[in-house]
Amino acid sequence: MSAKTPMTRHFVTFMSPGTFVAEQTTKEIDAWDVDAAKAMAEGITERHGATPYGFYFYTMERDSGDWEPRQTAKSPMCYLPHCKVETLEEIEARNDPNEEILRSNMRCNGWNRVVSSTRGWRWTQPLRDDDVVLS
């Protein structure tokens, strides 16, 4: 019986603002290279001209003899440098009437911080503890 030799492929999924959910574009990448992914993001445009606000990497592996590959690793979300982090305290202090639903969602869901795109279509979502905002 021969030893199983894993075949490994790396991917990056770019997230862009969508109508109800984020638009996604996935591309193969040689390695989990943040600079390469940032450069790739510049060439992506989704429907209605939406451009990425962030990305994450993942790795797929398949052993010889396996039918389907399996995900073996996934990175935290990496937000591009044009994204801004804000706390609930900052958003409440601003008291913008257009952000009433955002403030309510943050309080109801226990979100202390959100991240928003500042270029292109605005997109705001909770910032998780393991997420990374790139500089």
Q: What is the pLDDT of residue 4?
A: 65
Q: What is the pLDDT of residue 65?
A: 81
Residues 77-121 pLDDT 10s: 999 999 999 999 999 999 999 999 999 999 999 999 999 999 989
Residues 3-57 pLDDT 10s: 566 899 999 999 999 989 999 999 999 999 999 999 999 999 999 999 999 999 9
In the structure, what pLDDT confidence band is assigned to residue 1 with cuts at 50, 70 and 90? very low
Single pTM value for the model: 0.90
The arithmetic mean of pLDDT across residues 46-74, rounded, is: 94
CA–CA gap between residue 94 and residue 97 (Å, rounded): 9
CA–CA gap between residue 82 and residue 113 (Å, rounded): 16
CB-based contacts of 127: which residues, under 8 Å, 6+ apart? 79, 85, 111, 113, 114, 115, 133
Q: What is the pLDDT of residue 113?
A: 98
Residues 121-134 pLDDT 10s: 999 999 999 999 99
- Is residue 58 pLDDT above 60, yes or no? yes
